[in-house]
């Protein structure tokens, strides 16, 4: 006898013979209509949701939100933390990372701290985003500003240690008012994982492309739709845009970067737009950093090749982006291991990188970058996640990179375990 709770899955498996789920749109697309280079139908619009509150929980996101809470979720000791992201809004710096009791395990939660004086001091635990169930993890936060300069925070929710991205990427807008954090209602963007900043395109900044990764999904997503393994594996680009009402349309599948699976790692690809059509993408692989280009706005990509212009690189997340000046910034481990965190500056759209500055020679990783209103470069990164558990902050200028000035390179500790 088949129990009732398994009937929906059996039905969906049978139904999947004819159709499969395109995770980007949260809708079904027939195999006849879908190809790797075609764009599936655009999903419904996502409202701007500008109703900011001190939300305490959200049933759909299966998340709880705690403010100015000095205790860890469930009063457990924090024995691991890392993978930070940085954002700036109204001259305040927001930094988020994720932590847990022992490592990357169920129960992981997101921690947020704020600096109101450009990194001199930090207010701890301004917000904790924790799972409402012990089997869940909240991981991989990422800050980014949209075309309205609203600060967005995204994260990945996963069932168990890893559910292949079926839990999806979630988003809120976030701000601080009268020393209190306020957020909007969480919105689910798509399946997969994204722990880097998306890229804004278009003359009016209305188009946004999201670098999303997936690994052989063969599971049911939260809506009960079955995701076929062979159809969802790789480094993807999702595309969305803001309409005249300020609504985000999509995001939906746009293209795939055909990276050889033998060297795939966590992708963590970042994209720089030199113009509306010419895009450069850098990807993390087991063989260091690889690069590819698009000349049609991201619809298609060249075969990725190893990036050797900066010397040795390792398999770790990096930052690759365009500064307010128009110059390009690359922050990475300039080594075969996770040490020698170095900033490189290009003034000719990445053709050459004549300027570099060693930021931290120790074993550190996972840099992320934001610029303040004065154009100063603000960097966060982590050190020794299970031991020191340090979340570190540096601030410097383009001129510091050009002149090799190290006088400003004293890391400030935002948070640490020991």
Q: What is the pLDDT of residues 211-221, one digit of tens each?
A: 999 875 555 55
Q: What is the mean pLDDT of residues 236-261?
A: 92
pLDDT at 166: 83
3-state secondary structure (DSSP) of residue 132:
coil
Q: What is the mean pLDDT of residues 24-49?
A: 34
Residue 257 has pLDDT above 60, yes or no: yes
Model confidence at 32, pLDDT cuts 50, 70, 90, reads very low
pTM of the model: 0.87
Distances (CA, A) of 235 to 135, 270, 363: 27, 11, 27
Q: Residues of the chain with pLDDT > 90: what percent?
A: 76
Model confidence at 7, pLDDT cuts 50, 70, 90, reads very low
The pair of three-digit structure tokens given for residue 258, joined into one six-digit string: 């055909």
φ and ψ at residue 124, rounded to 5 degrees: -80, 155
Bridge partners of 57, per DSSP, are: 64
More confident residue, 22 or 337: 337
Determine contact, residues 188/207, Cβ cutoff 8 Å.
no
CA quadruple 256, 262, 263, 267: dihedral sign = positive
Across 110-137, b (16+ Cβ under 10 Å) vs e yields bbbbbbeebbeebbebbbbbbbeeeebb
pLDDT at 410: 93
pLDDT at 226: 58
DSSP for 298-323, written as a single string: TSS-PPPEE--TTS---SS--EEEE-
Q: What is the mean pLDDT of residues 359-377?
A: 98
Model confidence at 40, pLDDT cuts 50, 70, 90, reads very low
Q: Residues of the chain with pLDDT > 70: what percent?
A: 84
Model confidence at 222, pLDDT cuts 50, 70, 90, reads low
> What is the distance between the alpha carbons of residues 269 and 291, in angstroms, rounded to a whole number?
9
Q: How far is CA 106 from the centre of its chain?
A: 20
Determine contact, residues 170/191, Cβ cutoff 8 Å.
no
Mean pLDDT rounded to a whole number for the chain: 87
Q: What is the pLDDT of residues 145-168, one digit of tens each?
A: 999 999 999 999 999 888 878 899
Q: What is the mean pLDDT of residues 179-207?
A: 94
pLDDT at 154: 98
Select from 329, 339, 337, 351 the least CA-distant residue to 398: 329
Distances (CA, A) of 396 to 164, 264, 378, 401: 38, 33, 7, 8
pLDDT at 221: 58
What pairing do the DSSP bridges indicate for beta strands 377-383 and 279-285? unpaired
Q: What is the mean pLDDT of residues 98-117?
A: 96
Q: How far is CA 177 from the centre of its chain?
A: 25
Model confidence at 20, pLDDT cuts 50, 70, 90, reads very low
pLDDT at 25: 32
| DSSP symbol at 226 | B
Residues in the chain: 418
φ and ψ at residue 107, rounded to 5 degrees: 105, -10
The pair of three-digit structure tokens given for residue 19, joined into one six-digit string: 């159709």
Instruction: Return the minimum-mean-pLDDT range out of 123-132, 225-234, 307-316.
Output: 225-234
Q: What is the mean pLDDT of residues 280-284?
A: 98
3-state secondary structure (DSSP) of residue 296:
coil
Q: What is the mean pLDDT of residues 375-380?
A: 98
Determine contact, residues 306/287, Cβ cutoff 8 Å.
yes
Tokens 């087991």 identify what position?
286
How many Å is the Cα radius of gyration of the chain?
A: 21
> What is the distance between the alpha carbons of residues 348 and 352, in angstroms, rounded to a whole number?
7
Tokens 């992981």 identify what position?
108
Q: What is the mean pLDDT of residues 94-113?
A: 96
Q: What is the pLDDT of residues 344-356, one digit of tens each?
A: 999 999 999 999 9
Model confidence at 223, pLDDT cuts 50, 70, 90, reads low
Residue 407 has pLDDT above 50, yes or no: yes
Model confidence at 15, pLDDT cuts 50, 70, 90, reads very low
Select from 84, 116, 106, 114 the least CA-distant residue to 97: 84
pLDDT at 233: 79
């Amino acid at each position: 006898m088949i129990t009732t709770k398994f009937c929906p899955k059996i039905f969906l498996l049978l139904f999947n013979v004819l159709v499969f789920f395109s995770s980007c749109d949260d809708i079904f697309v027939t195999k006849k209509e879908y190809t790797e280079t075609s764009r599936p139908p655009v999903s419904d619009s996502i409202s701007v949701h500008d109703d900011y509150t001190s939300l305490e929980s959200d049933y759909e996101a299966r998340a709880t939100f705690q403010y100015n809470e000095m205790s860890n979720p469930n009063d457990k000791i924090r024995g691991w933390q890392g993978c930070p992201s940085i954002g700036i809004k109204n001259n305040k710096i927001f930094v988020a990372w994720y932590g847990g009791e022992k490592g990357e395990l169920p129960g992981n939660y997101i921690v947020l701290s704020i600096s109101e004086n450009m990194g001199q001091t930090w207010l701890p635990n301004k917000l904790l985003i924790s799972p409402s169930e012990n089997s869940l993890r909240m991981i991989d936060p990422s800050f980014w500003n949209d075309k309205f300069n609203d600060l967005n925070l995204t994260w990945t929710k996963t069932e168990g240690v890893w559910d292949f991205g079926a839990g999806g990427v979630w988003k809120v807008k976030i701000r601080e008012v009268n020393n209190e954090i306020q957020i909007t209602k969480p919105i689910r963007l798509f399946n997969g994982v994204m722990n880097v900043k998306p890229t804004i395109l278009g003359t009016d900044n209305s188009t946004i492309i999201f670098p999303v990764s997936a690994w052989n999904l063969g599971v049911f997503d939260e809506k009960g739709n079955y995701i076929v393994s062979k159809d969802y594996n790789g480094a993807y680009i999702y595309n969305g845009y803001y309409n005249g009402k300020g609504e985000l349309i999509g995001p939906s599948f746009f293209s795939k970067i055909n990276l050889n699976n033998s060297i795939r790692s966590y992708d963590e690809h970042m994209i720089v737009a030199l113009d509306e059509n010419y895009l450069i993408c850098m990807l993390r692989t087991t063989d260091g950093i690889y690069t590819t280009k698009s000349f049609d706005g991201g619809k298609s990509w060249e075969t990725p090749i190893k990036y050797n212009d900066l010397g040795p690189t390792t398999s770790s997340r990096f930052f690759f982006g365009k500064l307010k000046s128009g110059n390009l910034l690359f922050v990475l481990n300039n080594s075969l291991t996770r040490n020698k965190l170095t900033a490189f500056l290009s003034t000719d759209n990445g053709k050459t990188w004549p300027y570099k500055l060693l930021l931290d020679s120790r074993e550190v990783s996972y840099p992320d970058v934001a610029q303040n209103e004065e154009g100063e470069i603000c960097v966060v990164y982590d050190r020794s996640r299970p031991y020191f558990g340090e979340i570190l902050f540096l601030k410097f200028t383009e001129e510091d990179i050009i002149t090799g000035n190290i006088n400003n390179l004293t890391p400030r500790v935002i948070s640490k375990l020991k």
